[in-house]
Structure 1
């Protein structure tokens, strides 16, 4: 490659903001809190699929800059050795040690065989007398990858964590029930949302100032969606092509 070609390639590369680590054209520094929002009651642990690390619309890096007590693990399943905190919860559960008033939950819609509890009901079940310390586990990936990650992690996390969900509707295609302005990618059914939004909605119930934290996180996410929309070109539907077999049969019938 010639020197001129190298210079042109360098010029075409997007300049990255050193603070938010996003292209400067979609910089979020003006909205990301100067100091991360404090989650006093909640430890957040996110298992991120390896493919999500390279995805330009991943929300976990932004979430990690917005809140405290957020640990991001990379992998396809949770198991012993991934997190000291989860290992401690697992060991206590296996050894049937008395509850330390630390309650863990992993966020994913349930099934008939493995039902989930709505996050607000789960939190309310402990009452006001408990020392409410929560561990919230989330899985970051496409819907297919997330299902695989939950299934692979289930033998481990089910020992000490309750499966919880946000309100959703599997009969509604795409979008989510909270806001139709926060969708970054096509979702398989109503109620699905980005990892950042899902964590924000959970913190609304788990934190004393959860409403404020949720609002701040959603504001950042809304700007991400706005930036994405400004750079997305409208997609024209592809023309429907007839199958060769049907065309052949039509031609044969027309000659009869």
Structure 2
């Protein structure tokens, strides 16, 4: 028998995160394109980001037939948050925006699945690309990062928004993420956590 879940945050009802999810306004519009394989992920940080931003939107799929309409936001300049040839640092894009807010398009999935989204959606691949600063580290202490600087989708969005919409803070978006991590640590027990993951906190 399946456990009852919250229809909004998709967490088990007894572990509902809605009380921790803020509703923040942002000058930058955020469009998250989530690969279907991420929907049932234990963290699903993309969903937390979309719920916490009044100017955020989450779409799930592999091929987005309405992508042209999604990208055509009046008064916004669409950019893709993804590394690649010619990618520009987010901070530089913020300085060159000339008063026009950005539509920040964020693919959500493993690196392989995110690249597949770009391959299946040529309009996405053609967007100007933005990259996060080097040297970032994830707060997700239960998984070793696949590469230096790799962070969750939620952490990437928070970092980008704080650069694009400075000096506004978006740290409140991370509260439910931290609660999820603490809940997982509590479930496994301190001893197991220290034995298997403590070395990553050095």
Report the TM range for the smaller structure's normalisation. 0.7 to 0.9
Confirm or deny that 1:49 pairs with 2:15. Answer: no
2:101 matched to which residue of 1?
133
1:82/1:195 CA distance change after superposition, 3 Å: same
3-state DSSP class of the match of 1:30? helix
1:21 matched to which residue of 2?
10
Within-5 A mapping of 1:1-256: 10=1, 13-33=2-22, 36-39=23-26, 41-78=27-64, 81-82=66-67, 84-86=69-71, 88=72, 102-110=76-84, 114-126=85-97, 130-153=98-121, 155-159=122-126, 161-168=127-134, 177-178=136-137, 180-183=138-141, 185-208=143-166, 210-211=168-169, 213=170, 215-232=171-188, 234=192
TM-score in terms of structure 2 length: 0.81
Consecutive unaligned residues of structure 1, counting only runs of 5 or more, are 1-9, 90-99, 170-176, 238-256
Provide the C-alpha distance between the structure 1 equivalents of 2:113 and 2:141, rounded to a whole number of angstroms.
18
1:188/1:123 CA distance change after superposition, 3 Å: same
Consecutive unaligned residues of structure 2, counting only runs of 5 or more, are 197-202
Compare relative contact order (CA 8 Å, sep 6+) and give the higher one, 1 or 2.
Answer: 2
CA RMSD of aligned residues (A): 2.7
Q: How many residues align?
A: 193
1:71/1:151 CA distance change after superposition, 3 Å: same
1:83/1:14 CA distance change after superposition, 3 Å: farther
3-state DSSP class of the match of 2:20? coil
Provide the C-alpha distance between the structure 1 equivalents of 2:113 and 2:179, rounded to a whole number of angstroms.
26
